[in-house]
A and B are shown apart, each in its own frame.
Chain A
Amino acid sequence: MASTTTVRISKELSSEVAQIAALRGQTSGDLLAKAWKEFLARNKDVFAKDMEEAAKIIRTGTTQDLAAFLSSDVDASAELAAEQAEEAQG
């Protein structure tokens, strides 16, 4: 099992997550895992719909179709990444 994680979130959020995790005696990865569990529990219908779509792609689609399925948030992610790059001082 992988023991390290690269989490691509803003420096501010990353810092806050690390502080909260430290206060709880946990790692950022532990908190992230907990957040994903809660997210999946709250979004069962969305997950079920995604499962159907992914299964259909695997049965009848192409790699490009699967890539498109995985790319639903690309525009928002790109905008955030560009903002972070512009603000980065390192």
Chain B
Amino acid sequence: MTSVSLIALFSGCSKYLDRKPLQATLQDLNQGGLEGQAIGLYGTIRNSASAPYAGDGFVGIGYIPMQGFRSGDQTVQSDPGAAGYITAYSNFQYSKDDWANGVYWDRHYQMIQIANILLQTADSLQLSDPASLINIAEAKWFRAYTFFDLVKNYGEVPLITNRIYQASDGQIPKSPIPAIYDQIDADLTFAEANLPSAQPSTQVGRLVQNAARMLHAKTYLMRDAPSPTSGANWQKCLSLCQEIIDSKQYELFSPYWAIWKTQNENCSESIFEVQCQQNANTGAGWYTTYWSWWGTEQGVRGSGDWNLGWGWNNPTPNLVNAYEAGDPRKAATILFSGQSDDPANGGYGRTLPPLSNSAYWNKKTYVSPTEQAAAGDPTGAAFVNTRVFRYADVILMAAEAANEIGGAANDTAAEAWLEQIRARARGNNSAVLPYIQYQNQAQFRLAIKQERRVEFGMEMERFYDLVRWGDAQSVLGGQGYQPKNEYYPIPSAAISGNPNLVQNPNY
């Protein structure tokens, strides 16, 4: 009798104690297998609003100084509290314990882990159907993209290609740079072979074959930096670019300033964007699921109507002065305090106040006042896609590779490609940006360098271009650049968490 009531009591208790959350858990969802995980890759690279916050390393405030401020053309002026980044990044006074560096490292390895989990899942289930192969290709693309960021910023890093189950799985030593590029090559070769050539209109912007080619082409340029890239790499880069051009899937979008308008996200020039969207179900305000920090970080930091963001990516006078006279790209790239926002080049007919915190602002994240109001937040320039890869880069990479390889056919092609870029920038105004004739390799090399600088102004390309050209010392030396600054120091926290990890040289 007693034992019966005891059993009743205990079963009653265990029922009383069985409380599942009053909201869905992963077990409650049908996630669509590998496809669900692959979709997650696109969200992971964007999200910053909650764990794992991986977007902080790709579009967040950790990304901007790491990839942008070391260029001499971008910095943070507008936020006195953040101005330590001027010196840490723009002036190369690196600190191992800098927050942005730590975030950048951590989030990149999180991205790798998430890609590795997908690959491990596919591997364990021996999935080889066509749809799964596409998902595997996507994971490999993201892994390659992430390792490319790491290798160009840190040089040798731990090459983690397996899912980490416990801390020790990730505590491996650094791999040599060629080994990292070998992995990137393997991943991207697979991606090129397995990604679809196009996506349905409901999934515009999802990875396609050409996105793999483009990323792969870029990685060939970066190898062996800062010494000139070998002939073989130039050739590989050129072939990949040529394949993209021949696919005729892309064209340069005109006018230049319109690329950054919201309605032109995923335009004909777009190859890869980190995408975000204000969603009806998550309400107004900044804290929504499909949010990206990109617009808020860089919006004009003023008050009232001009409280558009944190102003964390300001053009420097170097960049302002880099444009040829009359180049419309200057007015499309830079907002000037106290001046009109220049409706002819992407403005909305408003005049900036004479803001004291910075004279220049990034116009490539400047959204219309109505969009801002729709976001329901003063700093609502929130839903801006990050234009990561665009076709103009393919054209200029092709031009650069062709020029470096040389030969009459290549020289002619390079001249034509450069003109494509300048013609689009020129628009209907034939008085500016004159046609550049090929004279010799050195002359044309300089022309391409200049073109890249202004075409991709504020787009996080400049520092890596300078490094791979071997120009970093001559251009940035005055700001404090030394050879060791090609790579960033590995964050102290990463080293203390991995006994096999050694700091980069001279730090």
A, B in one complex: no
Binding site for B on A (CB under 8 A): none
- Which of B's residues lie within 8 Å of A, judged by CB? none
